[in-house]
Amino acid sequence: MKPVFESPLGSRYASRYMLHLFSPDMRFETWRRLWVSLAKAQHELGLPVTQAQVDELAANVSPINYDVVAAKEKEIRHDVMAHIYGFGEMAPGAKGVIHLGATSCYVTDNADLILYRDALRYLRGQLLAVMRNLCDFADRYAGMPCLGYTHFQPAQLTTVGKRATLWLQDLLLDLEELDDVTGAIRFLGCRGTTGTEASFVSLFEGDTQKIDEMNRRIAADFGFDRLYDVCGQTYPRKLDSRILNALSSLAQSCCKFATDMRLLQHDRQVEEPFEDAQVGSSAMAYKRNPMRCERICSLSRYVMADAANAPMTASTQWLERTLDDSANRRISLPEAFLAADGILRLMQNVTAGLHVNDKIVARLVNDYLPFIATENLLMAAVKRGGDRQQIHEIIRRASMEATEKMKNGESWDLIAVLAAEPAFGLTEAEIRAVMKPEHYIGRCPEQVAAFTKKCRALAQGAENREEDITL
């Protein structure tokens, strides 16, 4: 049999944990555990469900009899009913009480809420591992001066470590957003076909306190302490928008980091990891491409584009529900999680192996330091009695001349030219004495230390879940 299409998210990018989390086994076993929980609560609250039936259901959560389910679904064209039938085949003594009073969204929506919550928690650990790597990097290079850029043009100095805190701050904001959306997830519970709980009013003979208690017990079984106050047949699809927006925000930050890295690697300042036997190009053997950062950018674009699905779905849910969300959500939500997982695995790999070419960084600093120092030199010259406007013009003319020579590949010495101007009032030795990069990095080391301390407090204990596969 010839191979068929397999999503690269499964074969190349996502972790085994995330692939298992969104696997058929996990999804349908969660459905069965929800049915067990429903039956257990109903038994405890006095409905005609026996402990033996609850035990029989619990004993047959796995394995799933997929062949039986598939054959039944082909016949009746309804996946949940096919799984009820399959579960009943394995627990015949309890088949008559499976799904009592429930509608399909009891298992489909609650299972999704469980899976999304667990996926967000897992990504949080992955993100914290990336942040921990960047904290180490930022602290190591907190005081190393480097050329800063605005508009990707040479600007004032910063430090290698301070630049890393900019990446860290974006990720910290993403962490806060992940925490917010995870904390916002509530359980749907078992609320009936249009959210009115009418079926349970009948089953419990009007005892609404038992309905509320049933839902609290089911929610607690799956680690939830809150339920949506009201609902139609489904949980609010606004939640999907919040989830995909959070994953999109994370992708934006990772793409920004990876783009910066690609620019820095072009200048040979900072490079992503590159193994001894790694091949950069099939034709150009000398190539050392930033392929991991390029992959981060590529997957990030996918997640950012995918995030548009949820608001379009949420905005078109008719009244108590419509089914045009189903096919879209089966693809857009899991794939967003798998792609975000792949991005963070790559981020862990890259941030753990960043390589700084110290001499290249220092050379760029030295090339531009005379220009950077001119404002301080202007003030020093004025203090010696010089005319501020005249000194400014001397610096402007000399700088333009030096820049022109640089562009033509000619040698130049801005300091010597300035010192040769009698009106400048400073000797060459005096000017060169202030040409120390560390004098031009402001509070960078202090800022790095304060910020990484804050980030480390959040990242403490986060496990690096990087798997031993080719990235």
User: Which sequence positions are flagged as catalytic?
Assistant: 151, 281
Q: Compute the C-alpha angle 142/148/149, nearest 5°.
A: 150
Alpha helical stretches, state H, 22-147: 24-44, 51-58, 66-76, 79-90, 104-140
Burial degree of 140 (CB within 10 A; 0-12, 13-18, 19+): middle
For residue 164, how many C-alpha atoms fall within 13 Å in the half-sphere facing its CB?
32
Burial degree of 408 (CB within 10 A; 0-12, 13-18, 19+): exposed
Q: In Å, how far are 97, 108, 209, 269, 457 from 204, measured between CA atoms?
A: 15, 24, 9, 70, 49
- Judge whether 61 and 33 are in contact, CB under 8 Å: yes
Task: Return all residues near 177 (Cβ < 8 A) that are at least 6 apart.
Answer: 245, 246, 249, 250
- The secondary structure of residue 229, as a DSSP letter, is S
- Judge whether 259 and 270 are in contact, CB under 8 Å: no
